[in-house]
Amino acid sequence: MEKIKLNVLGISYSQTQSGAYALVLSEENGSRRIPIIVGGFEAQAIAIELEGLNPPRPLTHDLFRKFAEIYGIKLIEVNIHKLEEGVFFANVLFDNGDKQISLDARTSDAIALALRFKCPIYTTSEIIEKAGIVLDFDKEKGLTEEPPAGSTGKTKKERPSSSGTRKKQLDDKSIEELNGMLEKAITDEDYELASEIRDEIKSRKK
């Protein structure tokens, strides 16, 4: 079966499911996208790695990566191999130097691990045909078409409407104040706020 490589395009707040997020995967050599709805914890684990944030204490996926590294286990690849009733199924392929072992995993966990191990993510042509959609990008609004959410990539995320007030508050801060707020947000493990502050700092440096 043909394997198609995917890249993590971004993650954003779901516009259709309260408290959920949309992880968007992009076909490496094509224009189709696969949106996958994930929960808040899973979204946080993925977003932290995408944003390059360093939590003061290791999250579950960070601990798993460290454990694997200590015992010489490598994550070779992630495969999203089945789509059934709207649910994506994945497996992860490990190598300990002597043999390779494939394990079932939730797709969100598999992708969080793939980002940390920097290994490729694959799916099948059948899944791309069933779930792949072509989205139009808008420079200001991010993805302009549903379902069920949008993403502007790694540099900026769409936020719930309530984030507008917080954005205005960040606008009034200096770079030095923002850097201080960023350190505190990471220490407090408020990664959503940390991501917003980092986006604001990046936008001012352009």
Which DSSP helix (H) or strand (E) runs through 196? Answer: helix 191-205
Non-local (6+) Cβ contacts of 146 within 8 A are 15, 16
Do 114 and 34 sit in the same domain of this protein? yes
Give burial (CB, 10 Å; 0-12/13-18/19+) of 72.
exposed
Do 144 and 168 sit in the same domain of this protein? no
- What's the pLDDT score for residue 15? 63
> Which residue has 């601990």 as its token pair?
63
Instruction: Tell me the residue type at 36.
Output: I
- What's the pLDDT score for residue 21? 86
Cα 136 versus chain centre, distance: 20
Length of the chain: 206
Do 71 and 37 sit in the same domain of this protein? yes
Do 32 and 14 sit in the same domain of this protein? yes
Do 38 and 133 sit in the same domain of this protein? yes
Do 20 and 116 sit in the same domain of this protein? yes
Long-range residue pairs from 159-164, CB within 8 A, at least 24 positions apart, any chain: 159/13, 159/196, 160/13, 163/196
Which domain range does residue 188 map to? Answer: 160-206
- What's the pLDDT score for residue 179? 83
pTM of the model: 0.69
Do 35 and 130 sit in the same domain of this protein? yes
Do 13 and 80 sit in the same domain of this protein? yes
Q: How many domains are contained in the chain?
A: 2
> Which residue has 């936008």 as its token pair?
203
Q: Which two tokens stand for residue 122?
A: 């694959």
Beta bridge partners of 123: 4, 80
- What's the pLDDT score for residue 140? 34
- What's the pLDDT score for residue 136? 53
CB–CB of 190/53 below 8 Å? no
- What's the pLDDT score for residue 162? 40
Give pLDDT < 70 ranges for the chain: 1, 14-18, 135-166, 189, 191-192, 195, 206
